[in-house]
Structure 1
Amino acid sequence: MALAKGAATINADVVSAAFYLLSGWQEFFSVERDRHGRFPYSASVQQQYSFVALPVVNYYFDVLKTAVEHVSGQALQPRHWQGAAFASFITHDIDSLHGGWGTAIRRDLRHGKLFDAGRALLGKATGRPAPWNNLEHVQAETTRLGAPSTFFMLSSSQPAPNGTANADYKIDSSLLKRLRQLEANGAETASHGSYGTAADVTRLREEVGQYGSAGLAGNRFHYLCWEPRRTPGVVAAAGFRYDSTLGFAEHFGFRNSYCLPFYPFDFERAQAHSFLEIPLNVMDATLHHPNYLQLRPAEILPAIKPMFEEIERFGGVATVLWHNDHFDPANTTTGPHQFAEIMNDLRRRGAVFLTGRQIVAELCGR
């Protein structure tokens, strides 16, 4: 960029480059899909040029900001989130409430705790709540660490036609009562659209209808399914105020190379969609799953800290997904200890912790 008195020359088309990344152009016009119908990280420019953990669009906009400030002679003030430099969105996809017995029994046997293993077996046989039936415990832990939780609840217990599992629980009156109590204590309930609903607005509406007249503000699709030619329209037609699906399952970082919420582009109408996308930055399974990064516990925080530094720099939102089953003490790889390390780093940086509804209210005033 060349600066002169009253003028600035940018020798690159940063607007087109920003639009290409932020709009998801590469996904919309690509035929590459994985077995879940998702645009794969391996086909992305982020992987090709190794910038997935860098919010390139924010840097492009920073160039424009510098030019505007120079020409106008006035500084553009950075966004603040309730007085904080950046925000964090702590979320939990609830895929299972009745699992975890096998994990607990194997852990006890591995440590020679035969009595505890027997007690777990008896608990399973007598119908005691499973180790992963832990919504209240998850909220207590996030509250202890200074954040409200947003619970993305799966509303279908029927497997998908291809056999992919959905929830192992049902949205019944007992569970709804628990969710209302969690909300009274500061949590948010959101939709975790079941496998297949990313292309089926009728099913998605039916699922959301199970929560009554209160309505749900946000959604994230199971398995992070997102078909760019259809899914944005489904989210908009279902009436959600925000979505938080757009992150790569295979790698932490910025799927659209941007660290702030944004309105997805509607390619058919050449305008913005009506809902806000709150990008997903890091998921527990990404960090250690055998198909993904396979980081050791001590490697997790050092790997993602530079990403948090970028979000802090640009006043963005750090969205963290930690499934409820990863709060099981038996998980020592991406478990409660690693979650606490991440939370403590975000707190040290001065993040304000908000629910999805609160983020929408901050940005949109509604």
Structure 2
Amino acid sequence: MATGPSPHYFYVMTLPPAFPLPQPAPAPLPAATRLAYVLRHFHLAYDSVPEVSIGYEETAVVRLEDASGGFFSGQAPYPPAPQWRDWCGTRLPFFFSPPVEAPLLHLPAGRAFIGPDLISAAFYLLSGWQEYFSAERDQHGRFPYAASVQKQYGFVTLPLVNYYFDVLRAAVEHVTGQPLRPRRWGPAQAAFAGFITHDIDTIHGGWGTRIRSQLHQGHLPRVVQTLLYKAAGRPSPWNNLEEVQEATTKQGAPSTFFMLGSQQPASNGTLNADYDLTAASMAARLRKLAARGAEIASHASYGTATTPGRLQAERQRYGLPAPTGNRFHYLCWEPRITPQLVAGAGFRYDSTLGFAEHFGFRNSYCHPFFPFDFEQGQALAFLELPLNVMDATLHHPNYLQLSAPQIMPALQPLFAEIEKFGGLTTLLWHNDHFDPANDVTGPRQFAEIMTHLQQRGAAFLTGSQIVAEVWTC
């Protein structure tokens, strides 16, 4: 649990020429715009929110003070330091609090007064303001975790917007006398949901990994057998889409496969797919996976997140029906370009927004949300299914470097936060991590995570099923 600010450091990467950073849209964003965007998501987070006036006006039944101080009229990426307060036993940072500390929640008869400006704070985090107006990018053109307020103040594993909504929930319950229940998921009305995804970057690999593992274990006969399999042209260890689906199905969940749409390497040499999505044999496999309950989605290739026209053209390579969901290769996302490309390509959802460097909440929110269009001053017409946990994040030498016994203790508090607010757990486990040779972030660790989520009562859904539930609310 975060208890206060942690040391903060920034690093600035000069963008490669292939990723020129456009100028941000001009401010300001008026209070009415921020209020409408935030309240739309508040209503999606709970079942049957009653109509009650919430805002900055004197006549509002649930009233806040606009403490943004002109921040949203400028282009500064970072707000003043937050005030730290306790809410229901959790120490939380409250951005845009008045300089003189007011009660967090004052509840006279028939009215409610909230001290911090929760609307501005929730808008700042949920809209991705910091990364839109920051010029800091890493070698892949991504906004880096090291430059985020989540890193600066140590709350990446807290869905802070949901905590802000919880304060607002208490205010609404007081003035209406009607209890609010977090949204429920699936036919069984589960308390939270799980979205189990697999990015398929490569299928023609894994021989070297398997041989090294067998040598390390001293299994020389198995090494010989593996070499013979390879020489005979057997399918490689990572050519395992059916095994991935079977492992996920055993845990009671459907798989959503994000398939790369291009074999062409990016202009900087970064590899894309090592398989042909349009080959008859691959198309037949994908149809069988879909017939068994999987969803086939777009894993847009490296470079599509910043190049107009490419994403839409790549989506057409999947045939009909075209995929409704997308996640960008390498989690590439340029906030000044990418959201409009996703909307323009016709996708109903995206699931890119998570920090590669750390598990948690990039937008400090554990529910699906509509990304904000800074140019038009309104929500875009597709849902973001935020990414919480990626296998590579947990052990990659550039990231957290957790050992196998450290993974579940690190993730359980995160899952508890999602369950608390009736949110969505999005898990990314690549197909190559289902190789038994991987004993750190491999099939055993995947099964441990899935067993935990299953025992906690998660409703496992595909991306399209999630969209269908949220969009009808």
TM superposition score category, shorter chain reference: over 0.9
**TM-superposition CA deviations, 1:274-322 (whole Å, max 9, x none):** 1000000000000000000001100001101111001001000000000
Q: Which residue of 2 aligns with 1:135?
A: 241
Q: CA deviation at 1:69?
A: 1.0
The 3-state SS of whatever aligns with 1:303 is helix
CA distance in 2, matches of 1:340, 1:111: 22
Q: CA deviation at 1:124?
A: 2.1
TM-score (norm 1): 0.98
CA distance in 1, matches of 2:177, 2:378: 32
CA contact (8 A) 2:126 2:161 kept: yes
CA distance in 2, matches of 1:316, 1:290: 30
Q: Which residue of 2 aligns with 1:248?
A: 355
Amino acid at match of 2:145: Y
CA contact (8 A) 2:331 2:353 kept: yes
Residue 394 of structure 2 corresponds to residue 290 of structure 1: no
CA contact (8 A) 2:255 2:295 kept: yes
Residue 220 of structure 2 corresponds to residue 118 of structure 1: no
CA distance in 1, matches of 2:111, 2:310: 54
CA distance in 2, matches of 1:207, 1:118: 41
Amino acid at match of 2:271: A
Q: Which residue of 2 aligns with 1:78?
A: 182
Q: Which residue of 2 aligns with 1:354?
A: 461
Residue 210 of structure 2 corresponds to residue 93 of structure 1: no
Q: Which residue of 1 aligns with 2:132?
A: 28
Residue 424 of structure 2 corresponds to residue 317 of structure 1: yes
The 3-state SS of whatever aligns with 2:305 is helix
CA contact (8 A) 1:28 1:229 kept: yes
CA contact (8 A) 1:201 1:237 kept: no
Pairing of 1:267-306 with structure 2 (within 5 A): 267-306=374-413
Q: CA deviation at 1:72?
A: 1.3
Q: Which residue of 2 aligns with 1:225?
A: 332
Q: Which residue of 2 aligns with 1:67?
A: 171
Q: Which residue of 2 aligns with 1:169?
A: 275
The 3-state SS of whatever aligns with 1:199 is coil
CA contact (8 A) 1:241 1:360 kept: yes
Amino acid at match of 1:98: H
Pairing of 1:152-167 with structure 2 (within 5 A): 152-167=258-273
Question: Of 185, 202, 205, which residue of structure 1 is paired with 2:312?
Answer: 205
Q: CA deviation at 1:206?
A: 2.2
CA contact (8 A) 1:148 1:353 kept: yes
Amino acid at match of 2:366: C
Q: CA deviation at 1:104?
A: 1.1
CA distance in 2, matches of 1:6, 1:186: 50
When you count helix as a share of all residues, which structure comes out higher? Answer: 1
Q: Which residue of 2 aligns with 1:182?
A: 289
The 3-state SS of whatever aligns with 1:261 is coil
Amino acid at match of 2:201: D
Unaligned stretches of 5+ in structure 1? none
Q: CA deviation at 1:74?
A: 1.4
Q: CA deviation at 1:114?
A: 2.2
Q: What RMSD in Å do the two structures reach over aligned CA positions? A: 1.0
The 3-state SS of whatever aligns with 2:139 is coil
The alpha-carbon distance between structure 1 residues 68 and 341, as it changes in their structure 2 partners (threshold 3 A), is: same
Q: CA deviation at 1:216?
A: 0.2
CA distance in 2, matches of 1:46, 1:337: 30
CA contact (8 A) 2:261 2:318 kept: no
Amino acid at match of 1:248: F
Residue 152 of structure 2 corresponds to residue 48 of structure 1: yes
The 3-state SS of whatever aligns with 1:198 is coil
Which has the higher relative contact order, 1 or 2, with Cα contacts under 8 A spaced 6 or more apart?
1
The 3-state SS of whatever aligns with 1:153 is strand
CA contact (8 A) 2:387 2:427 kept: yes
Question: Of 254, 266, 280, which residue of structure 2 is paired with 1:148?
Answer: 254
Greater CA drift, 119-128 or 308-317: 119-128
CA distance in 1, matches of 2:264, 2:232: 25
The 3-state SS of whatever aligns with 1:92 is strand
Amino acid at match of 2:331: L
Q: CA deviation at 1:78?
A: 2.2
Q: Which residue of 1 aligns with 2:321?
A: 214
CA distance in 1, matches of 2:197, 2:138: 25
CA distance in 2, matches of 1:53, 1:14: 19
Q: CA deviation at 1:159?
A: 1.2
Q: Which residue of 1 aligns with 2:96?
A: none
**TM-superposition CA deviations, 1:222-272 (whole Å, max 9, x none):** 000000000001100110000000000000000000000000000000010
Q: CA deviation at 1:115?
A: 2.5
Q: Which residue of 2 aligns with 1:58?
A: 162
CA distance in 2, matches of 1:272, 1:249: 25
CA contact (8 A) 2:261 2:315 kept: yes
CA distance in 2, matches of 1:240, 1:363: 15
CA contact (8 A) 1:201 1:235 kept: no
Equivalent pairs counted in the alignment come to 366
CA distance in 2, matches of 1:204, 1:266: 18
Question: Of 28, 37, 42, which residue of structure 1 is paired with 2:141?
Answer: 37
Unaligned stretches of 5+ in structure 2? 1-104
The 3-state SS of whatever aligns with 2:470 is helix
Q: CA deviation at 1:158?
A: 1.5
How high is the sequence identity, in percent, across the aligned residues?
Answer: 68
Q: CA deviation at 1:65?
A: 1.1
The 3-state SS of whatever aligns with 1:4 is coil
